[in-house]
Amino acid sequence: MVSRSQAVPYAAPFVIFLALIGLSHLWPMPALADEIFRLAVMLGVLFLVARPVLRGLRILSPGVSVLVGVAIFFLWIAPDLLFPQYRHFFLFDNSVVGSAKSSLSDAARHDVPVLFLRTLRAVAIVPVIEELFWRGWLMRWVIHNDFERVPLGTYSALSFWAVALLFASEHGPYWDVGLMAGIIFNWWMIRTKSLGDLILAHAVANACLSGYVIAAGKWEYWL
């Protein structure tokens, strides 16, 4: 029998992250307080729960991982640059996937501490919790429920496409580019078999997107 505790370092941070999003909708806080609260909670969770896994991470292909992250960033913004009304098409603007509207208020968009903390969360927290969950745990668990017997980066068609599709669904109105990003991330995991490289690539993509959001005023990317 597989102990559920094996999955905790991989899955618990992601579940708590989603719970915090739900909590922010139920009990809204001022933007700065919300960012501080989410960052503090997630740092604590990663330190207390995921530290055994994170401690052993290695980055094997840093240069290519950075390039993968940059490529995903350009892929993410390309449809909206090429077709300005693209995101208003009914497939990306409906009651199921939501719409591309920012959760940041007008005031928060000009609040430097809020923007800094939001960027820090996107770059230092989100890539870690998402890669632990999607490609560290779920991609292996789909293959065998005793997932630790499955080496990182093991390929099966079911796990590859299930994770890519679920990763896409997580990104709401950006599900199309989320699917493409999920495919690339899955492929890079199979190639490198390294969670460290996936976290780096994901962090670079989020850093580029955060910089673009702030510099170009494309707040809709920060849902």
C-alpha separations of 91 from 156, 170, 199 in Å: 29, 15, 29
- 3-class state of residue 133 by DSSP: helix
Nearest alpha-carbon partner for 204 in 38, 14, 62: 62
- Sign for the CA dihedral angle at 26, 28, 31, 34 comes to negative
Length of the chain: 223
C-alpha separations of 115 from 92, 104, 168 in Å: 26, 10, 25
| CA 149/CA 22 separation, integer angstroms | 33
What are the pLDDT tens digits along the chain (223 aa)?
A: 455 689 999 999 999 999 999 998 899 899 999 999 999 999 999 999 999 999 989 999 999 999 999 999 999 999 999 999 999 999 999 999 999 999 899 999 999 999 999 999 999 999 999 999 999 999 999 999 999 999 999 999 999 999 999 999 999 999 999 999 999 999 999 999 999 999 999 999 999 999 999 999 999 999 9
| CA 164/CA 150 separation, integer angstroms | 18
Tokens of 8: 């905790």
| CA 130/CA 10 separation, integer angstroms | 9
Residue type, 101: K
| CA 188/CA 210 separation, integer angstroms | 22
CB 151 within 8 A of CB 35: no
| CA 182/CA 164 separation, integer angstroms | 5
pTM: 0.95
| CA 117/CA 38 separation, integer angstroms | 10
Sheet strands (E) in 66-197:
none
The whole-number pLDDT of residue 135 equals 97
Tokens of 210: 């955060």
| CA 169/CA 67 separation, integer angstroms | 25
Count CA atoms closer than 13 A to 166's CA, side-chain side: 15
**Farthest CA pair distance, the chain:** 53
